[in-house]
Amino acid sequence: MNPDYIIVGAGTAGCVLANRLTEDGRNSVAVLEAGPSDDYLWIHIPIGYAKTMFHPVYNWGYYTEPDPNMNGRKVYWPRGRGLGGSSSINGLIYIRGQSADYDRWSAAGNNGWSWKEVLPYFIKSEHNADVKLAARPTHGSGGPLWGSSIPDPHPVMDAIIQGGVELGVKHTDDFNGGDQEGVGYFQLFTKNGWRCSTAVAYLRPAQRRKNLRVEVNAQATRVLFEGKRAVGVEYTQHGVTKTIRANKEVLLTAGALQSPQLLMLSGVGPAAHLREHTINVVHALPGVGQNLQDHLQFRVMFKLSQPISTNDDLKSPWRKAMMGWNWLTRRAGPLAVGINHGGMFTRVLPESSTPDIQFHFAALSAEMAGAPTHPWSGCTFSVCQLRPESRGEVRLKSTNALDAPAMFSNYLSHETDRRCAVESIKFARKLAATPSMASIVSEEYRPGQHVKTDDEILDFARTYGATIFHPSGTCKMASDDDASGVVDTRLRVRGVTGLRVIDCSIMPTLISGNTNSPVVMIAEKAADMIKTDAQHG
């Protein structure tokens, strides 16, 4: 029997939709996930983030095309593969973005997407384990997705918070009330010391329902059309090509890289580019794959004068054993946190009216995210610009859906982004030089004190800058009079019927912070819109 809805991708958004579209028993849903189930233990232990960063099975392991703005480097872009998608391998950080982000979407013509209108979906999704936060009007309890506070303070993070206050940044206990400005501990997507991915929070409870079918190792290769109506999906599973038809709609939830790739492979996209690959044009839609945005991070690292970092925990057999014991007995300690304990949102550009940079603070240091820690005591200030002006694109390399798409990041191609990069690194140095931080910092490891001028700092950014894993915007939501739009405000693909895109690719502009929580919100809101539209024919 054909399902009512086909969901392509059991990632962050796909798991939410699978749950919400089957909860009242009225709809049947089939989910196609290209990767495997999430039964790898290190997915579920928060510090296992380091184990999945380069995993050949649970990570797509993409690289961008050589970027001339990054000294010709290809930049590694990890993306989750398997149930839960990137919510199963990310840094677990619970950030919604600023209220101004969503008001900006609304002001651009995206009716229904203001902060006031999306906040109920953030609240609906949330179970805040901190009862003090849960009682606030911007938070919730009883939702599927747990947000938990870090149970134990850390001396490095405490020094950073005090240093931030010394620079005039307020201490905050809540980055998710709409006004992010401040420094403090993050909340994490964890439940009792375990990762709370959307597969755990949403999909697992729904899999008991008879109206939900989940297929793993099922790689979608194209959307099937009859005229301009999407009617199903072609996919490969264990080397066999299969097709499945939808009674109502096909929902693409494959993420900012693969949703536009799949649209183009299916004949929806820039006409000239599709013809280059001898793909029959179902509908010419020039915005598909355009508007690519990402948060580019710069990892400023310091050696510490005291053995108080996670580096020290990992190199000592006794302290390493205590890490395990702490997690086993209390579900606390470094294994329950992952990498980053806290953050800061602040402003470095004079024209910014809201925070324009975000720090992720880690009580460890390594040559790159997920790499082995240094043999000395260290900490890392990872800083990124929140609202980059640079725009890249996603294009096809071939007509084979198993090939990675071509990703052109175009980092630092805009002057504002270059200014922000330099000023953010300068701010990191100011923070490390505060009295509270100076008491534990022995020296700057990277960039190093030899990097002094603005040009030298910018060259460091080009040489070492890396993604903080938030590619977005490639199937832009826009009003009807914006020719660059791919989906309308109800996330329906323009020019065709029976097809929606529901993931971070629909973001008109990248939100100010980590993207997991906003994608959950997008999917929660989309589920309501799908149900409403079905009722009204």
Residues catalogued as catalytic: 470
Q: What is the DSSP letter of 237?
A: E
Q: How far apart are CA 525 and CA 333, in angstroms?
A: 35
Would you say 288 and 486 are in contact if contact means Cβ atoms under 8 Å apart? yes
The CA radius of gyration of the chain, in Å to the nearest whole number, is 22
Distances (CA, A) of 431 to 141, 345, 381, 428: 35, 13, 9, 5
- Mark out the alpha helices in 47-108 (DSSP H runs): 49-52, 99-107
Would you say 355 and 345 are in contact if contact means Cβ atoms under 8 Å apart? yes
Q: What are phi and psi of 212, to 5 degrees?
A: -125, 130
Q: How far apart are CA 83 and CA 215, in angstroms?
A: 10
Q: DSSP states of 418-481 as a string?
A: HHHHHHHHHHHHHHHTSHHHHTTEEEEEES-TT--SHHHHHHHHHHH-EE-S--B-TT-B--TT
Which of helix, strand or coil describes residue 316?
coil
Q: What is the DSSP letter of 259?
A: H
Q: Which residues pair with 185 in a beta bridge?
A: 342
Q: What are phi and psi of 221, to 5 degrees?
A: -110, -25
Six-digit token pair at 147?
């947000």
